[in-house]
Structure 1
Amino acid sequence: MVIYTIFVLYNNNLSFMKKLLLVAFVFMCSYTTVKAQAFGIKAGLNFANFNGNDADDFNVLTSFHVGMVAEMHLMDALSVQPEFLYSVQGAKTKDETYKLNYVTLPVMLKLYFTDSFNIHAGPQIGLLIGESDSFTTFESSTYDLGFAGGVEFFFADNFAAQARYNAGSTKVSDKYELKNSVLQLSLCYMF
């Protein structure tokens, strides 16, 4: 339902902020029907770049991500964590910076080895909501599908540090062979 709503909103002529607020509202409402054990907020740094045959001249772009998470325990050591994030991705060259602004929806399956340490992996869909002027000539794709995986460590009451790698599986441009590649370092606070 959330992905369908994002698709409908993207194809309507609403302002960026209205789209973002409506998607956030739908995301939060969809989780009132499931019993999440914890909700949280997260933010951190992105170290983004492009992979692919046409990615030779690109370098790492340092940017950020911020958003909300909800965790539902399936068993003692297994949980599912859907997230709703605003993430600035892209790359840079010697002369230009190429920024792609996404609303991403990763769904992580988390396997706990201890109460404070887990590994997680799962699919991620991103909806392009904005781009830098320098990227418009690339004819960017609306969606970014990919896979993410990483580790998480709870170091204090309700605080966690995460390291995650996101690998895009779809091209970010209709004209070039470029895919997103993002290393994320995050801090998370669970309520």
Structure 2
Amino acid sequence: MQINQLKYLGLFTATLLATLLFVSSTVNAQRIKSAPLSWGLKGGVNLATLYGDDVNDTEIATGFNGGLFFSYAFSPRLSLQPEMLFSMKGAELDNSVSGQETTTDYELGYLEVPVLFKYHLVTGNTLHPNILVGPAIGFKLYGNANDRDIDDEIQDAEFGLTFGGGLDAEVASSPTDFIQTVGLDLRYTLGLTDVFDIAGDPEAKNRVFTIALAVGF
């Protein structure tokens, strides 16, 4: 099952990358000077799992990731990008973190707020690679285990570190165009705090690989 998920994710990534290259090649190569503050929408796919001393034999859980982002450019190379995202996490475990010998499908939903520093590689054309890193805090929205409500067993908040990179393509021909950029975002979020708040305090943390398409206005 994991191999099929990764195969489809690779196909999805290649399709998005090809789309970005095509779009960027069809617009004027002259860089459009825009205001330092911008915003946009993004959406994509999470490949999530759990890790820790009390987690064994996990399988990837696929979920949605998307929401709103803002970007403030300090310079052509450096920007700050806070985001507000709905993020689905979890994993399928052969044994639950409470020690029961049964397959358990954990579905966890968070309102995630990353605050990312982005370093942009200025290329002289309309396609710009970037590197990103920053902290992220996730606020619990819901938790299920095999469709059983476990909200009371999940910590109210989690902290993590996000890092990755992507590509931004300028698609506007003037600063007044509604859509200014489209981008492909690849990132990894490593949870640093335990997910569960139950007896025995099991060590289990989220880790998520995300691929998303962003549209900047």
Which bin holds the TM-score, normalised by the shorter protein? 0.7 to 0.9
Q: In structure 2, what is the equivalent of residue 187 of structure 1?
A: 213
Q: In structure 2, what is the equivalent of residue 159 of structure 1?
A: 182
Comparing 95-104 with 180-189, greater Cα deviation is found at 95-104
Measure, in 1, the Cα distance between the counterparts of 2:44 and 2:169.
16
Measure, in 2, the Cα distance between the counterparts of 1:108 and 1:89.
20
Q: In structure 1, what is the equivalent of residue 98 of structure 2?
A: none
Q: Which runs of 5+ in 1 are unaligned?
A: 1-34
Q: In the alignment, is residue 119 of structure 1 matched against residue 131 of structure 2?
A: yes
Measure, in 2, the Cα distance between the counterparts of 1:133 and 1:126.
19
SS for the counterpart of 2:155 is coil
Work out the percentage of aligned pairs sharing the same amino acid. Answer: 30
Q: Which runs of 5+ in 2 are unaligned?
A: 1-34, 95-102, 172-180
Q: Deviations over 1:38-70 (max 9, x none)?
A: 110000000000011111132110111110000
Q: In the alignment, is residue 110 of structure 1 matched against residue 110 of structure 2?
A: no
Q: In structure 2, what is the equivalent of residue 98 of structure 1?
A: 106
> Per chain length, whose mean CA-contact separation is higher, i.e. which structure has more relative contact order (CA < 8 Å, sep 6+)?
2
Question: Displaced runs of 4+ in structure 1, greater than 3 A?
Answer: none
Measured on the aligned residues, the alpha-carbon RMSD in Å equals 1.8
Q: In structure 2, what is the equivalent of residue 50 of structure 1?
A: 50
How many residues align? The count is 157
Contact 1:36 1:70 in 2 (8 A): no
Q: In the alignment, is residue 144 of structure 1 matched against residue 144 of structure 2?
A: no
Deviation of the 1:137 alpha carbon: 8.5
Q: 1:119 to 1:180 in 2, by over 3 A?
A: same
Contact 2:81 2:118 in 1 (8 A): yes
Normalised by the length of structure 1, the TM-score is: 0.77
Q: In the alignment, is residue 170 of structure 1 matched against residue 193 of structure 2?
A: yes
Structure with larger Rg = 2
Deviation of the 1:184 alpha carbon: 0.3
Q: Deviations over 1:65-86 (max 9, x none)?
A: 1100000011221000000000
Q: Deviations over 1:157-186 (max 9, x none)?
A: 211001000000000013311000000000
Normalised by the length of structure 2, the TM-score is: 0.68
SS for the counterpart of 1:56 is coil
Comparing 89-98 with 159-168, greater Cα deviation is found at 89-98
Instruction: Return the letter of the residue paired with 1:170.
Output: T
Measure, in 2, the Cα distance between the counterparts of 1:93 and 1:166.
20
SS for the counterpart of 2:193 is coil
Instruction: Return the letter of the residue paired with 1:190.
Output: G
Instruction: Return the letter of the residue paired with 1:142.
Output: D
Measure, in 2, the Cα distance between the counterparts of 1:187 and 1:52.
30
Measure, in 1, the Cα distance between the counterparts of 2:109 and 2:216.
25
Measure, in 1, the Cα distance between the counterparts of 2:144 and 2:122.
42
Q: In structure 1, what is the equivalent of residue 81 of structure 2?
A: 81
Measure, in 2, the Cα distance between the counterparts of 1:55 and 1:153.
34
